[in-house]
């Protein structure tokens, strides 16, 4: 497997907003550099703390409740806040469908240089 360079936190934030920004429940991600990416208009009900760029890539390649649960059990992410309210977020994540082409476009955008 080819090792990819780590995505920048700014690129990761952009991709997170694109993939998860339509979910109605307010929640947030905190990236490995401490940057918080808030989604929704209200105070987040929970925050998913992504510890490494590699974990971020895994979550984007397969955005599903199963991938998040697996990362949580492995301590690759932490969940802060109301975990019962987070179930609404998990239900919304379950509805996300990314075509292989869209996934590729999102992943490639992480390493594209800005003009």
pLDDT of 115: 44
Is there a domain that residue 29 lies in? yes
Residue numbers of the domain that contains 39: 11-104
With contact defined as beta carbons under 8 Å apart, do 58 and 66 qualify?
A: no
What CATH number did the domain enclosing 84 receive? 3.30.1050
d(CA 14, CA 111): 12
pLDDT of 31: 97
Is there a domain that residue 85 lies in? yes
Is there a domain that residue 20 lies in? yes
Helices (H), the chain: 9-20, 53-61, 65-73, 86-94, 100-109
Is there a domain that residue 2 lies in? no
d(CA 67, CA 93): 10
Is there a domain that residue 16 lies in? yes
d(CA 52, CA 70): 15
Q: Which parts of the chain register pLDDT below 70?
A: 1-4, 112-115
Is there a domain that residue 21 lies in? yes
pLDDT in tens, 82-93: 888 777 777 777
Is there a domain that residue 54 lies in? yes
The total number of structural domains in the chain stands at 1
Q: Say which residue the tokens 């401490």 belong to.
A: 34
């Amino acid at each position: 497997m080819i090792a990819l360079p780590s995505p920048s936190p700014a690129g990761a934030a952009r991709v997170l907003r694109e993939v998860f920004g339509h979910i109605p429940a307010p929640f947030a991600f905190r990236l490995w550099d401490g940057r918080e990416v808030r989604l929704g208009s209200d105070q987040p009900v929970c925050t998913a703390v992504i510890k490494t760029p590699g974990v971020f890539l895994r979550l984007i390649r397969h955005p599903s409740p199963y991938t998040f649960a697996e990362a949580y059990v492995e301590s690759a992410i932490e969940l802060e806040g109301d975990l019962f309210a987070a179930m609404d977020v998990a239900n919304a994540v379950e509805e996300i469908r990314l075509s292989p082409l869209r996934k590729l476009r999102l992943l490639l955008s992480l390493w594209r240089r800005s003009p």
